[in-house]
Amino acid sequence: MKKATQRVVLYSTLTVLSAAGLYGCKDFLTAASSPQGTLNQATLTDPTGVEGSLIAAYRTLDCTDSDNGNWGCAASNWVWGSVISDDAYKGSEQGDQGEITDLELFHWSTANSESYLDVKWKAMYEGVNRANATIRLLKDVEKATPNALTAADQKGIEGEATFLRAHYHFEAWELWGNIPYYRETDTDFRKPSEASDAVVADIEKDLQTAISLLPATPRNGQVGRVTSWTAKAFLGRVQVYAGQYAQGLQTLRDVQANGPYALETSFDHVWSGFKQYENGKETILAFQASVSDGDPNASNSNYGERLNFPYSGSHFACCSFHQPSQTLVNHFRVDANGLPLALSDPTWNNHEGTFDATASANVAVDPRLDWTVGRYGTPYKDWGPPDPTWVRNEGYSGPYLPKKNIHEKASGAEATVGWQPQQQNSVNIHIFRYADLLLLLAEAEVEAGSLDNARKIVNQIRQRAAVAVQGPGTSASDMAVSINDPRITWAKYKIGTYDSPWTNQQQARDAVREERNLELAMEGHRFFDLRRWKIADQVMNAYVAKEASRRSYYTGAEPFTARHQLFPIPNIEIQLSKVSGAETLKQNTGW
């Protein structure tokens, strides 16, 4: 792989080694002067084979067109974290991807729901399998030719694979809690589930190992690779998610004080197709989307996101999924001080009707609204304003469109090959970014009683949000403009900071949680936040009751109950786990 690329470049040629798929990088494959016969354990037991196997483990971060099955494997978790929360509706129309509708309405025991759950399960354990295959292959190379890899590369490869194994298990734990944990030494893939706390301990152990093995900067200068700081940031994330606030506080304070990360200067740089913002200082881990790598179908692009573009009246032509909810849009309304109305006004969610440019012209809103949501009459980055032809079925799923995953017209990030290439781009999919980390740190500070530390972090996030807002978008130069730009006629942008000290822990907790909602909206985190805060039943039942008057199909939702705290393990996986007729995987309670 050429170091000049400065990132891990993915390529879609597929071979099979044991149970794991193998993707190599473009330069490795194109550099092969002639076919060498069938790939097998012997031909792969060299440095090139090990590096290719590791690339395969990274590639599983997002869907592929060869093994996806459905959209449950998207790197962004838009189905699991957004549609199942109060962020978004499934979108599109009733007859398309009805499986997601069952999930959205909490009918999780249906065959439709199982089909999506099983794809997510298989995708995560495919990632685990590829990571473990890499470690095994590395050890074979070290044994057969001890000097074939430098000591630094040996440690780096093992550290990267161990981190990825932890990540994939974490993704599975987020959904199911009680899951089997596989290591490179396992030979029987019918292991019983571990209890949730034991899984967390195993994830943390792997992340500690990765921290000890990985360098502080990306190996080979390829910025898509994980580092010891990536692993440490993830360790803090896992600790907070698991409710280990004291440990998370210590870990995340270290990352904040000594790590390489920082907020982007303005919000428009975070989700962007412009190359100068790719893998910027806010990126902790992202799927490295690629459209110019020689793949004839642009399969290494934003594959898991390709449904989530405006419909036929737009340049993108399809498919109007993952549509922001009315509740989410209302969350962005602010009071006279530019603070969230949801924290101070019990009627904050009573706005009805399309919140288009006319309706919002004199209504104060957080500027992140128009970096997150496409609204009629409001510039859509630099693609012009959406209209109802951009939405597949407004009567079914509302008038709003997703926006963060959309490339800018001027960015050159759009694919030129494959089916409807206008839906495919090289916008990297953020899996974990620094603003997310800071808000997890603020959460830990609140739980420790350090309320002023939390307030300062939240203010830092809000100050960044005020730097640049959606501009007219007639060109790249006026897509992002000053908040006071006189050309803004479609909104009254206003965002304030919390200037008075926080003295009430619950109010501080609510403010941090609302900030996560605003900053990370439509990024696949919301449901998991609600669940770990143990307020999912309260929030989601109130949401469904409200939205049922807006989206008629919500009248068919199940009440969110204790069993919905964890997803059901796919029954097919339980059947496959049997040893001598006895199930080793045990179904989660209530399913």
Angle, vertex CA 478, rays to CA 472 and CA 479, nearest 5: 70
Identify whether residues 25 and 169 lie together within a single domain: yes
Identify whether residues 201 and 329 lie together within a single domain: no
Residue 64's pLDDT is what? 78
Residue 38's pLDDT is what? 52
Could you give phi then psi for residue 304, rounded to 5 degrees? -65, -15
Residue 5's pLDDT is what? 36
How far is residue 527's CA from residue 564's CA, in Å, rounded to a whole number?
Answer: 11
When divided into structural domains, the chain yields a total of 2
Q: From 508, 524, 540, give the residue that closes a domain.
A: 524
Identify whether residues 120 and 195 lie together within a single domain: yes
Q: Does residue 554 lie in a domain region?
A: no
pLDDT tens digits, one per residue of 279-303: 999 999 999 999 988 999 999 999 9
Q: Does residue 277 lie in a domain region?
A: no
Identify whether residues 7 and 154 lie together within a single domain: yes
Residue 66's pLDDT is what? 63
Check pLDDT > 70 for residue 339: yes
How far is residue 14's CA from residue 123's CA, in Å, rounded to a whole number?
Answer: 16
Q: How far is CA 383 from CA 218, 409, 482, in A?
A: 35, 6, 19
* H helix or E strand, kind and range, residue 457: helix 451-465
Instruction: Give the other-Cβ count within 10 Å of 36's Cβ.
Output: 8
pLDDT tens digits, one per residue of 81-137: 999 999 999 999 999 999 999 999 999 999 999 999 999 999 999 999 999 999 999
Identify whether residues 361 and 250 lie together within a single domain: no
CB 136 within 8 A of CB 102: no
Identify whether residues 34 and 127 lie together within a single domain: yes
pTM of the model: 0.93
Q: Does residue 56 lie in a domain region?
A: yes
Q: Does residue 119 lie in a domain region?
A: yes
Q: Does residue 36 lie in a domain region?
A: yes
| Mean pLDDT rounded to a whole number for the chain | 92
CATH number at residue 58: 1.25.40.390
Q: How confident is the model at residue 69 (pLDDT cuts 50, 70, 90)?
A: confident
Q: Does residue 129 lie in a domain region?
A: yes
Angle, vertex CA 314, rays to CA 311 and CA 317, nearest 5: 50
Check pLDDT > 70 for residue 456: yes
Identify whether residues 248 and 310 lie together within a single domain: no
Identify whether residues 369 and 511 lie together within a single domain: yes
Q: How confident is the model at residue 41 (pLDDT cuts 50, 70, 90)?
A: low
8: left (phi over 0), alpha (psi -120 to 50) or beta: beta
CB 119 within 8 A of CB 73: yes
Identify whether residues 23 and 162 lie together within a single domain: yes
How far is residue 65's CA from residue 59's CA, in Å, rounded to a whole number?
Answer: 12
Q: Does residue 539 lie in a domain region?
A: no
What per-residue string of b and e applies to 366-380 under the rule 16 or more CB within 10 Å gives b? bbbbbbbbbbbbbbb
Check pLDDT > 70 for residue 36: no
39: nearest Cα among 25, 53, 59 = 53
Identify whether residues 327 and 212 lie together within a single domain: no
Identify whether residues 152 and 209 lie together within a single domain: yes
Q: What share of the chain is helix, strand, coil (3-state, %, to 5)?
A: 45, 5, 45
Identify whether residues 197 and 308 lie together within a single domain: no
pLDDT tens digits, one per residue of 428-446: 999 999 999 999 999 999 9
CB 47 within 8 A of CB 96: no
Check pLDDT > 80 for residue 18: no
Q: Does residue 202 lie in a domain region?
A: yes
Check pLDDT > 50 for residue 25: no
**Structural domain boundaries enclosing 450:** 303-524
Q: How confident is the model at residue 8 (pLDDT cuts 50, 70, 90)?
A: very low
